[in-house]
Every structure is written in structure tokens, then in C-alpha cells.
Amino acid sequence: MALALRTERTEARLLPEQKKRIEQAASIKGLSVSDFIVQHADEAAIKTIESHNAWVLSEKDMEFLVQTLLNPPEPSAKMKAAAKRYKEWAGK
């Protein structure tokens, strides 16, 4: 990550033991504390976003979903009534 591209700044309050661990880990990796924090926070952010945007289904659940999409059940009476109300509300 080029230094010239860094334009934003943030701050964090750490417990003394957290700061010490981060400094030690940054030293082990040969990074500055700032670079270590940015690198690992960005990796954690990417993983968090990916896990939020992904579904993980068991094989059984995946098979059920696929079969339901390929062979959808007939709409229930409540679903038909809701569709009718929506069409009336939407003016169709």
C-alpha cells in the first residue's frame, strides 16, 4: 500500500496489554504498528463483508433450496390473497 495513497486517518484506544501485543506482532512481521494495524484490520474487514454476503448451506439444505426453486409449490390461499391486495394497492 503506497503511502501517497493514504489520505484518511483514524484513532483507536487500546488497553496497555493490547498495545504491547500489537507492537510485538508488528515487530515480528517487520512492520510498523500502523502498517500492521491497517493490514490486519483490512483483512478482517474483507472477511467480515464476505461472510455477511455469503450463504453457507449444508448439502441437505442446498438440495432442498434447488428443488424448491426448480419445482416451486403452489401459492397458498394467504399468498394469493396477499398478491391480490398488492395488485390492488399498486393499481394493476
Number of structural domains, the chain? 2
Burial of 39 by CB count in 10 Å (0-12 exposed, 13-18 middle, 19+ buried)?
middle
Are 37 and 67 part of one and the same domain? Answer: no
Are 48 and 28 part of one and the same domain? Answer: yes
Are 64 and 79 part of one and the same domain? Answer: yes
Are 20 and 38 part of one and the same domain? Answer: yes
Are 42 and 66 part of one and the same domain? Answer: no
Q: Give the span between the Cα atoms of 27 and 35, in whole angstroms.
A: 11
pLDDT in tens, the chain (92 residues): 555 687 899 999 999 999 999 999 999 999 999 999 999 999 999 999 999 999 889 999 999 999 999 999 999 999 999 999 999 999 86
| Structural domain boundaries, residue 73 | 59-90
Are 24 and 46 part of one and the same domain? Answer: yes
Are 48 and 66 part of one and the same domain? Answer: no
